[in-house]
């Protein structure tokens, strides 16, 4: 639906991610330079438009200078900003309420003609719901986990892999010096992309991912052989990894609108390795270090291309769609297609086969 555009808004939802500010910069510069639009940023996901005291940040081609290399998001973000499921105390009881009508009204009151929503599958679900309520919206995929099936790559993933690989390189030297087993836990939720890519790049002997439940006896056999040959070993464990017949380790289930927080599996794996092999084991949980800092050159370029494409979608009136990368080309899909399925590592795929053929143990 083609509409006259004068003013657009940008929202960043879900976890922070290297490249978010680069997307914001690209949207703003394209909107200002190419189309002559006014741009504002919504503070902290959609929380900035959830009540009448809206929190908006004016953005223009001049005040986004320096955004390209800056990590995180200058707009702020949250995992608990779903206006369709807000927890409120009513008559002394906590209840779930839908305040999406207020969000729609506030966006219109601010004369915002269209919104660019940047986030993962949860954010795209919310954006799709708001789109169906009449708000012109386009989406940009964001997740370091690289688990959105509709796009070949999400920005932030390359940076997360680079950070994890650098950490593994550093741990190689200290592990060798002390003749230890280093167990490193990486992010990725239920997808093993970060662990698999960085584990291969960082020379890990064992890589445990959610898609392949691990047999700890098999892992320990490999560790024993490695310790005899080399005297040290690196084990990469995705936070969503689980043993055969077991379940994920959950640190926190989260409240209404929050996502389940995984983690702690590396400590369990380390304890079992130490118990069954007698090796000296140390554990490193890289955690949010993977989210922070400046994005890689690849992520800066991809973020810029996504931001430009999002502004172009608005100009063309193609709302209710999310930009994607297919091969080397920027495309777009409907929100329904964007959130229909997640992308997981194929246990029998080429990347897994390549790892195993060079002697990496994936726990099976």
Q: Could you tell me which residues come within 8 angstroms of residue 275 by beta carbon, excluding any fewer than 6 positions away?
A: none
Task: Give the integer Cα–Cα distance in Å for 342 and 42.
Answer: 27
Task: Say whether 289 counts as a known binding-site residue.
Answer: yes
Task: Say whether 120 counts as a known binding-site residue.
Answer: yes
Task: Say whether 188 counts as a known binding-site residue.
Answer: yes
Q: Label residues 166-183 b or e (16+ Cβ within 10 Å = b).
A: ebbeebbeebeeeebbbb
CA torsion sign for 29, 34, 39, 45 is negative
Q: What does the DSSP 8-state code read for residue 243?
A: B
Task: Say whether 122 counts as a known binding-site residue.
Answer: yes
Task: Say whether 80 counts as a known binding-site residue.
Answer: yes
Residue 190: alpha-carbon gap to chain centroid: 12
Q: Could you tell me which residues come within 8 angstroms of residue 341 by beta carbon, excluding any fewer than 6 positions away?
A: 149
Task: Say whether 189 counts as a known binding-site residue.
Answer: yes
Task: Say whether 282 counts as a known binding-site residue.
Answer: yes
Task: Give the integer Cα–Cα distance in Å for 300 and 159.
Answer: 10
Task: Say whether 180 counts as a known binding-site residue.
Answer: yes
Query: Cβ atoms within 10 A of the Cβ of 59, count?
Result: 25
Rounded to the nearest 5 degrees, what angle is found at the Cα of 211, between the Cα atoms of 205 and 217? 50
Reference 141, options 344, 260, 305, 315; nearest CA is 305
CA torsion sign for 39, 43, 49, 51 is negative
CB 155 within 8 A of CB 17: yes
Q: Could you tell me which residues come within 8 angstroms of residue 241 by beta carbon, excluding any fewer than 6 positions away?
A: 192, 195, 208, 209, 210, 214, 265, 269, 363
CB 137 within 8 A of CB 127: yes
Q: Is 147 a catalytic residue?
A: no
Task: Say whether 129 counts as a known binding-site residue.
Answer: no
Task: Say whether 143 counts as a known binding-site residue.
Answer: yes
Residue 211: alpha-carbon gap to chain centroid: 18
Which residue is catalytic, options 16, 44, 113, 145?
145
Task: Say whether 239 counts as a known binding-site residue.
Answer: yes
Task: Say whether 108 counts as a known binding-site residue.
Answer: no
Task: Say whether 15 counts as a known binding-site residue.
Answer: yes
Task: Give the integer Cα–Cα distance in Å for 117 and 45.
Answer: 9
Task: Say whether 221 counts as a known binding-site residue.
Answer: no
The DSSP H or E segment spanning 295 is: none
Residues designated as active site: 145
Task: Give the residue ranges of the annotated binding site for substrate.
Answer: 143-145, 180, 187-189, 239, 282, 288-291
Residues forming the annotated binding site for ATP? 15, 80-81, 120-123
Which residue numbers belong to the known binding site for Mg(2+)?
A: 121
Which residue ranges make up the annotated binding site? 15, 80-81, 120-123, 143-145, 180, 187-189, 239, 282, 288-291
């Amino acid at each position: 639906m083609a509409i006259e555009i004068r003013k657009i808004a940008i929202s960043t939802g879900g976890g922070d991610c290297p490249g978010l500010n680069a997307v914001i910069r690209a949207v703003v510069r394209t909107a200002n330079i190419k189309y002559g639009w006014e741009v504002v940023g919504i503070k902290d996901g959609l929380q900035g438009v959830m009540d009448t005291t809206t929190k908006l940040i004016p953005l223009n081609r001049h005040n986004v200078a320096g955004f390209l290399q800056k990590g995180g998001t200058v707009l702020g973000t949250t995992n608990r900003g779903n206006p369709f499921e807000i927890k409120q105390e009513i008559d002394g009881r906590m209840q779930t309420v839908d305040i999406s009508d207020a969000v729609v009204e506030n966006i219109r009151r601010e004369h915002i003609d269209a919104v660019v929503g940047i986030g993962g599958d949860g954010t795209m679900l919310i954006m799709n719901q708001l789109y169906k309520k009449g708000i012109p919206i386009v989406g940009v995929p964001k997740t370091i986990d690289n688990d959105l099936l509709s796009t070949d790559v999400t920005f932030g993933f390359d940076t997360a892999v680079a950070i994890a690989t650098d950490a593994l390189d550093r741990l190689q030297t200290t592990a060798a010096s002390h003749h230890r087993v280093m167990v490193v836990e990486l992010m990725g939720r239920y997808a093993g992309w970060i662990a698999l890519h960085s584990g291969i790049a960082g020379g890990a002997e064992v890589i445990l991912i959610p898609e392949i439940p691990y047999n700890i006896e098999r892992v320990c056999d490999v560790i024993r052989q490695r310790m005899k040959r080399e005297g040290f070993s690196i084990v990469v464990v995705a936070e969503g990894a689980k043993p055969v017949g077991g379940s994920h380790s959950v640190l926190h289930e989260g409240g209404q609108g929050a996502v389940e927080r995984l983690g702690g599996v590396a400590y369990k794996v380390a304890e079992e390795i130490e118990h069954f092999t007698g090796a000296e084991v140390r554990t490193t949980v890289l955690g949010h270090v993977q989210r922070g800092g400046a994005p890689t050159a690849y992520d800066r370029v991809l973020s810029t291309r996504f931001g430009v494409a999002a502004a172009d979608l608005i100009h063309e009136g193609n709302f209710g769609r999310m930009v994607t990368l297919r091969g080397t080309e920027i495309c777009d899909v409907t929100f329904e297609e964007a959130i229909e399925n997640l992308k997981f590592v194929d246990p029998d795929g080429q990347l897994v086969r390549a790892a195993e053929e060079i002697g990496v143990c994936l726990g099976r």
